[in-house]
Amino acid sequence: MFRQQRVEYKSADQIRTMRAAGLVLSDALDQAVAAARVGMSTLELDAVFAGVLKDAGATSNFLGYHGFPNSICTSVNHEVVHGIPGGYVLQDGDIISIDGGAIVRGWHSDSARTVIVGTPRPEDVYLSRVTEEAMWRGIAALATGKHVGDIGAAIDDYVSAAEGPALGILQDYVGHGIGTEMHQSPDVLNYRSSHRGPKIKPGLCLAIEPMLVQGRVETAVLDDDWTVVTVDGKRACQWEHTVAVHDGGIWVLSAADGGAAKLAELGVTVAPLD
């Protein structure tokens, strides 16, 4: 994981194209999230998402990726990541993470949101809130930090200090660089580590994606060779955004407002390039 690899740094114009992909992705996730209700199948959610990309002239970077059969990952309850859409029908109280990506003119974006269907359980509301807020702390650290490792430290510190039941941070699945490919160097850890990672500098684009669980962090992969589940059956959550660093600051490419509202709460001013 910690081997030094080449990082692809982007120009301002390339970041603008990634922003176009991020806006299409944000719209597609908006509509998939709105459709996530009791009685909907995860395959129907996939169709909603894919339809938005098609109408926008974008393509999915998940579909066909190492043989993945759909345009989104739908991870329900104890499924952590990489859940395959299918015939499962959402039930009252389910928690589902919807993870998707889009390509526009060869440039990628990647984002995930978690939805609680029907009547929420308080412990699931807490899980999703802490995961989302941890993501934003990681994004804020990208604006103020010196090395990529500062992102994981910020996420870890926030989760460890959260006022509520202790949550586990997965270490086997981490964030990543993104650009001309969906997964690139560097790895973006979601936990504090002695590994500092590369320096944060203009042109760096990252997918920041903490994954938290209500129980132990041990996971297993199902027989479909994709779906990752918690071994103890406890529930999991994922939130993710694609973020760019440029000469003027940072820009959350997969958020409709560029991350302005949430980052303002943390004292960070977003610097759009448009």
Q: What is the pLDDT of residue 2?
A: 44
Residues in binding site for substrate: 82, 183
225: helix, strand or coil: coil
Spatial distance between the Cα atoms of 235 and 214, rounded to a whole number of angstroms: 6
pTM for the model: 0.96
CATH of 12-265, one of 3.30.70.260, 3.40.50.300, 3.40.50.2000, 3.90.230.10: 3.90.230.10
Structural domain boundaries in the chain: 12-265
The count of residues in the chain is: 274
Give the HSE-up count for residue 195: Cα atoms under 13 Å, Cβ half-sphere. 13
- Say how far residue 97 (Cα) sits from the centre of its chain: 9
Q: By the 8 A CB rule, do 22 and 253 touch?
A: yes
**Burial zone of 268 (CB within 10 Å; 0-12 exposed, 13-18 middle, 19+ buried):** buried
The pLDDT tens digits for 26-84 are 999 999 999 999 999 999 999 999 999 999 999 999 999 999 999 999 999 999 999 99
Q: What is the pLDDT of residue 153?
A: 98
The pLDDT tens digits for 185-194 are 999 999 999 8
First to last CA, the chain: 35
Closest CA to 78 of 223, 240, 224, 215: 215
The pLDDT tens digits for 192-220 are 998 899 999 999 999 999 999 999 999 99
Residues in binding site for a divalent metal cation: 99, 110, 176, 209, 240
- pLDDT of 3 higher than 60: no
149-161 vs 122-144: helix axis angle to the nearest 10?
150
* Percent of the chain's residues with pLDDT above 70: 98
Closest CA to 151 of 10, 245, 26, 52: 245
The H or E element containing residue 161 is: helix 149-161
Residues in binding site: 82, 99, 110, 176, 183, 209, 240
The pLDDT tens digits for 116-151 are 999 999 999 999 999 999 999 999 999 999 999 999
